[in-house]
Amino acid sequence: MANEVSDLLDALHEGRIGLDDVAQRFRERQWPRRRAHEPADMAASELEDPDPYIPGSYDDVAAAFHRGRLTDTQYAVLSEAIAEAQRAEDAGEGRPSP
């Protein structure tokens, strides 16, 4: 399923856009977040299903890296760009909607 994040990652992989441009776009967008929940105990946490895939999220970046479509450097730069966007959002610096 295509979304802005996967489209940007595809363009980066194909050389149609540069890493700096993708990182900047990642800094400017809002990123979906998972809801934090604490299992009752360690045994309960081991029985829980993994979190579901969220389109247009960090999940797409991680998947691209694990499929070999991002280098270690690209993955590090893009992960930091996502973290910067989330820190800015947490600080109340609002970002435009995706």
Delimit the domains of the chain by residue range.
18-31+54-98
Q: In this model, does residue 97 exceed pLDDT 50? A: no
Q: How many helices and strands in the chain, by DSSP H and E?
A: 5, 0
Percent of the chain with pLDDT over 90: 68
User: Residue 31 has what pLDDT?
Assistant: 94
Structure tokens that stand for 55 in this block: 């389109």
Q: For 40-76, write each residue's pLDDT tens digit.
A: 666 666 666 667 889 999 999 999 999 999 999 999 9
